[in-house]
Amino acid sequence: MNIILLGPPGAGKGTQASILVKERNMVQLSTGDMLRAAKTSGTEMGKKVAAVMDAGNLVTDEIVIGLIREQLEVQKDANGFIFDGFPRTLAQADALGELLAEMDEALDHVIELEVNEDVLVQRILGRAAEAVAAGGTARADDNEESLKIRLMAYYKQTSPLIGYYYAKGDLKSVDGLASMEDVAGSIKAALAT
């Protein structure tokens, strides 16, 4: 089973992906993690990634698709993949669809974690305050200004994917502001249909 988790920053995609990895033995393909690993791998693709990142440039969609292809090939016996942080744009969604078709794979589900932006911001700011109160540190970008910028980027670039996958009949939406357990249960129910 191959799935995409969609939702704005802080909606809980990473948390829910971790639950799916544990419960279903799926592989989480996090774009950020793949780029960091590739940069230090010494492979041909890794050298490309390092050169682009070291120059301070954004990694192209072609490179990210190449990294995803590598993972799909290397872990072909996996019990499915969770795409985390990819696709972010309509062009990336098309590229992922083409790659999966080429590899005789399918995208089985797209799960949107629906959230109210104001409630989400308050939840993240509360989480940051709790971390500091407990003697820890908050994420550097868990402040209202950074959150608004991240949310604007999401709505500008990524939210068109909701309509894209809805039109294909692949989209299922769950309440991303419910408790972690309830969200996991809603995702489980969505995956069963």
> Which residues does the annotation mark as catalytic?
13, 88, 127, 139, 150
- CA atoms of 125 and 163, how far apart (whole Å): 29
- CA atoms of 179 and 36, how far apart (whole Å): 31
- The string of DSSP codes covering 80-143 is -EEEES---SHHHHHHHHHHHHHTT----EEEEEE--HHHHHHHHHHHHHHHHHTT----TT-S
Q: Tokens representing 112?
A: 């949107």
